[in-house]
């Protein structure tokens, strides 16, 4: 499976952070079920560098942990074939951890996910770390719980994975600088 794609919006987020803008880095992960271009469950279409959102976002969650990582052949965390250990030592690698619990987003066929940062906000009155139904728009998506999606940093399209009631999904964004 190919690695995720850092989008143009993700590169702008990185540049803003390097300039010292007072915005958040990676804070949210969104999962979606794609759109009509996802015709082959085992061979999803390639993500596009100019995408600013998922093709069909279904659920979004705030991170539960951010930490430094270091490569270690005995590490318990494995991402893209590389093993990592969490460390308190400052390194050039950061892990941002997201967890969709068993009862969250059940029944979604996950075909895409993305990591977002920079001023992500939920609709007024929404109190939970989980937001459903994508980005709110009064006419086209009045049930959406995300008010401002922020910057789409990294995007990945994956073969179909259906989340069922006995499945917890954990995703980790690994950033090497």
Q: Say how far apart CA 39 and CA 36 lie, in whole Å.
A: 7
pLDDT at 177 over 90: no
In a domain, 94, yes or no: no
Q: 34 is in which domain, residue-wise?
A: 5-64+106-165
In a domain, 15, yes or no: yes
pLDDT tens digit sequence for 82-129: 999 999 999 999 999 999 988 887 888 899 999 999 999 999 999 999
Higher model confidence: residue 1 or residue 176? 176
pLDDT tens digit sequence for 23-76: 999 999 999 999 999 999 899 999 999 999 999 999 999 999 999 999 999 999
pLDDT at 144 over 80: yes
Q: Say how far apart CA 134 and CA 136 lie, in whole Å.
A: 6
Q: Tokens 């996802």 label which residue?
A: 38
In a domain, 174, yes or no: no
In a domain, 75, yes or no: no
Nearest to 113 by CA among 168, 174, 157: 157
In a domain, 111, yes or no: yes
pTM of the predicted protein model: 0.92
- Our count of domains for the chain comes to 1
pLDDT at 5 over 60: yes
From the centroid of its chain, how far is CA 137?
21
SS3 47: coil
In a domain, 39, yes or no: yes
In a domain, 132, yes or no: yes
In a domain, 82, yes or no: no
Nearest to 123 by CA among 144, 109, 104, 93: 144
């Amino acid at each position: 499976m190919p690695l995720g794609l850092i989008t143009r919006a993700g590169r702008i987020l990185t540049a803003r952070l390097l300039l010292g803008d007072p915005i958040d880095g990676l804070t949210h992960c969104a999962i979606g079920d794609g759109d009509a271009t996802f015709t082959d469950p085992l061979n999803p279409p390639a993500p596009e560098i100019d995408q600013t959102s998922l093709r069909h976002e279904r659920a979004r969650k705030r991170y539960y942990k951010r930490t430094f990582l270091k490569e270690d052949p005995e590490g318990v965390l494995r991402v893209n074939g590389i093993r990592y250990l969490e460390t308190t030592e400052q390194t050039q690698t950061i892990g941002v951890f997201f967890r969709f619990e068993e009862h969250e987003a059940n029944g979604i066929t996950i075909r895409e996910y993305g990591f977002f940062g920079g001023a992500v906000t939920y609709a007024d009155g929404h109190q939970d770390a989980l937001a459903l139904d994508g980005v709110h728009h009064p006419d086209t998506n009045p049930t959406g719980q995300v008010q401002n999606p922020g910057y789409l940093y990294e995007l990945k399209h994956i073969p179909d994975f259906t989340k069922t009631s006995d499945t917890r999904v954990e995703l980790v964004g690994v950033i090497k600088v």
